[in-house]
């Protein structure tokens, strides 16, 4: 029996093209290894487009769809805050989910987990803008763009709100102790996990969803690429901004996001654990895309770039702050979105804002050098980064709170 593979997974069609062979040759010379991983790794990654989240699916079936939704939600929330043992007559699916969560995976190293969270926090709000910008290139793929386009999650005025809710999630999971039992980050990860089940179910029933071409919505494969976008990718790209992570830092951040993914049900058939593994998966990703999302992808990109456009009727001090926030947002997008993708999506000029993004790099490099030379500065740098990102988020979100709720209606 052959391994399942979406028809829009084009890796094998492109592996022997001249530019792919040239990239592999450069990789061998510069990096010392072949950018193309073993064939079984690629097959496992392709097959993961058909993998969902059986444990969470069973909870939704039993607690929500097979019973009273309000009672099911209350039981789930009680298990989040007090543990499943506190839930009277907990259904088997809920008990199984939390038994799995409470049992640490054999690969988990708590010290590396804490190290990785610290590295992620060190980037402050810069990593939020970076992650948002690099995601835009993925909107060319239907498996990524269609769930957002059909639900309207990142369309028009909702884009800023959804992006900030994602930032709230990133903050919660990376706070010290944020992934401990009963902690806010762990609870956020599990709420998002359940939301994904509902979205997946509704999209699979949608007449526009093409499972043969794209796999299942919010698949294990796309979730794995999201994890790389929060760990491996900023580990190297943000050096452009003056940050100085080591290879150990980057691999610790990958370990951190692997555990966040584990809590969210991201258990792919193969997981990269080294920078070499990640570089090879990035190469596979560059080759496999069909780039067929068309207008849906372009609309998502345009909505993201315009998400922080200041309202017209703002008092002067607030208008200046909003102008600066919007400019940095556009500058980050221009700096970190691949130029061909930026042009293909017909995004507007960012003017001189990329310079505002890059200008602090020398000072940041100096501060990072001092931190690395004097380890006792690590704690100081961590407190400053946490305080700055919290202040940034509060200024953007105001009195609103993140909801993590699935949309109730499709846009078409």
Three-state helix/strand/coil letters over the chain: CCCCCCCCCCHHHHCCCHHHHHHHHHHHHHCCCCCCCCHHHHHHHHHHHHCCCHHHHHHHHHHHHCCCHHHHHHHHHHHHHHCHHHCCCCCHHHHHHHHHHHCCCCCCCHHHHHHHHHHHHHCCCHHHHHHHHHHHHHCCCHHHHHHHHHHCCCCCCHHHHHHHHHHHHHHHHHCCCCCCCCCHHHHHHHHHHHHHHHHHHHHHCCCCCCHHHHCCCCCHHHHHHHHHHCCHHHHHHHHHHCCCCCHHHHHHHHHHHHHHHHHCCCCCCCCCCCHHHHHHHHHHHHHHCCCCCCHHHHHHHHHHHCCCCCCCCCCHHHHHHHHHHHHHHHHHHHHHCCHHHHHHCCCCCCCCHHHHHHCCHHHHHHHHHHHHHCCCHHHHHHHHHHHHHHHHHHHHHCCCCCCCCCCCCCCC
pLDDT of residue 314: 83
Which tokens in the block code for residue 148? 């957002």
Closest CA to 136 of 283, 281, 288, 332: 332
pLDDT in tens, 219-267: 999 999 999 999 999 999 999 999 999 999 999 999 999 999 999 999 9
Both tokens assigned to 15: 């592996």
Does residue 157 register a pLDDT over 90?
no
Does residue 93 belong to any structural domain of this protein?
no
Name the residue with tokens 């961590």: 382
Name the packing angle between helices 142-151 and 295-305 (round to 10°): 70
Tokens linked to 23: 């990239």
Please report whether residue 45 resides in a domain: no
**Which has the closest alpha carbon to 335: 360, 321, 352, 322?**
352
Calculate the CA 265 to chain-centre distance. Answer: 14
pLDDT tens profile 266-308:
999 999 999 999 999 999 999 999 999 999 999 999 999 999 9
Mean pLDDT score across all residues of the chain: 93
Is a pLDDT exceeding 90 seen at residue 410?
Answer: no
Percent of the chain whose predicted confidence (pLDDT) is above 90 = 88
With a cut of 80, say whether residue 206 has pLDDT above it: yes
Cα–Cα distance, 308 to 81 (Å, whole number): 34
Number of domains in the chain: 1
> Is 88 within the bounds of a domain?
no
Which residue, chain included where needed, has tokens 């890059």? 358
411 pLDDT more than 80 = no
pLDDT in the model for residue 408: 46
94's CB contacts (< 8 A; 6+ apart) are 59, 62, 63, 75, 76, 79, 84, 87
Residues 386, 22: Cα–Cα separation, whole Å: 42
Q: Are 200 and 194 in contact (CB under 8 A)?
A: no
Q: How confident is the model at residue 398 (pLDDT cuts 50, 70, 90)?
A: confident
Range of the domain at 242: 104-397
With respect to residue 52, please indicate whether it lies within any of the assigned structural domains.
no
Residue 408 inside a domain? The answer is no
Q: Is residue 120 part of a domain?
A: yes
| Reported pTM | 0.94
CB-CB contact of 231 with 212 (8 Å): no
Is 300 within the bounds of a domain?
yes
Report the distance separating Cα 317 and Cα 310, nearest Å. 12
What's the mean pLDDT in 121-146? 96
What does the pLDDT read at residue 405?
57
Q: What is the pLDDT of residue 402?
A: 57
**243 domain residue, yes or no:** yes
- Under the banding of pLDDT at 50, 70 and 90, the label for residue 412 is low
pLDDT on residue 64: 87
Is the pLDDT reported for residue 180 higher than 80? yes
Mean predicted confidence (pLDDT) in 149-156: 79
Question: Does the pLDDT value for residue 325 go beyond 60?
Answer: yes
**pLDDT tens column, 356-371:** 999 999 999 999 999 9
């Amino acid at each position: 029996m052959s391994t399942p593979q979406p028809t829009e997974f084009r890796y094998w069609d492109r592996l022997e093209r001249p530019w792919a062979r040239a990239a592999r040759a450069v990789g061998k010379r510069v990096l010392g290894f072949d950018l193309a991983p073993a064939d079984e790794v690629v097959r496992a990654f392709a097959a993961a487009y058909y993998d969902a989240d059986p444990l969470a699916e069973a909870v939704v079936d039993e607690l929500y769809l097979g019973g009273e939704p309000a009672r099911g939600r209350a039981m789930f929330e009680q298990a989040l805050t007090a543990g499943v043992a506190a839930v009277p007559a907990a259904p088997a699916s809920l008990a199984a989910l939390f038994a799995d969560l409470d049992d640490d995976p054999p690969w988990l190293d708590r010290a590396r987990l804490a190290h990785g969270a610290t590295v992620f926090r060190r980037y402050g709000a810069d990593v939020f803008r970076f992650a948002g910008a690099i995601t835009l290139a993925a909107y060319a793929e239907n498996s990524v763009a269609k769930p957002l386009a059909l639900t309207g999650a990142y369309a028009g005025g909702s884009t800023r709100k959804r992006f900030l809710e994602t930032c709230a999630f990133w903050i919660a999971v990376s706070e010290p102790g944020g992934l401990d039992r009963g902690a806010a980050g762990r609870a956020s990860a599990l709420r998002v996990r359940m939301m994904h089940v509902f979205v997946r179910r509704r999209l699979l029933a949608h007449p526009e969803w093409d499972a043969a071409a794209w796999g299942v919505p919010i698949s294990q494969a796309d979730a794995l690429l999201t994890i790389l976008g929060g760990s491996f990718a900023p580990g190297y790209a943000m050096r452009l901004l003056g940050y100085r992570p080591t290879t150990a830092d980057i691999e610790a951040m990958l370990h951190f996001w692997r555990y966040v993914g584990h809590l969210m049900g991201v258990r792919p058939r193969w997981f990269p654990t080294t920078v070499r593994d990640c570089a090879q998966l990035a190469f596979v990703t560059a080759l496999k895309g069909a780039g067929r999302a068309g207008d849906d992808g372009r609309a998502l990109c345009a909505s993201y770039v315009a998400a922080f456009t200041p309202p017209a009727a703002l008092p002067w001090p607030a208008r200046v702050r909003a102008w600066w926030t919007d400019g940095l947002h556009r500058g980050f997008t221009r700096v970190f979105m691949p130029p061909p993708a930026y042009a293909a999506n017909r995004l507007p000029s960012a003017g001189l804002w990329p310079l505002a993004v890059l200008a602090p790099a020398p000072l940041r490099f100096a501060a990072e050098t001092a931190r690395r030379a004097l380890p006792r500065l690590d704690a100081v740098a961590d407190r400053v980064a946490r305080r700055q990102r919290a202040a940034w988020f509060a200024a953007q979100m105001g009195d609103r709170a993140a909801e993590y709720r699935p949309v109730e209606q499709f846009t078409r």
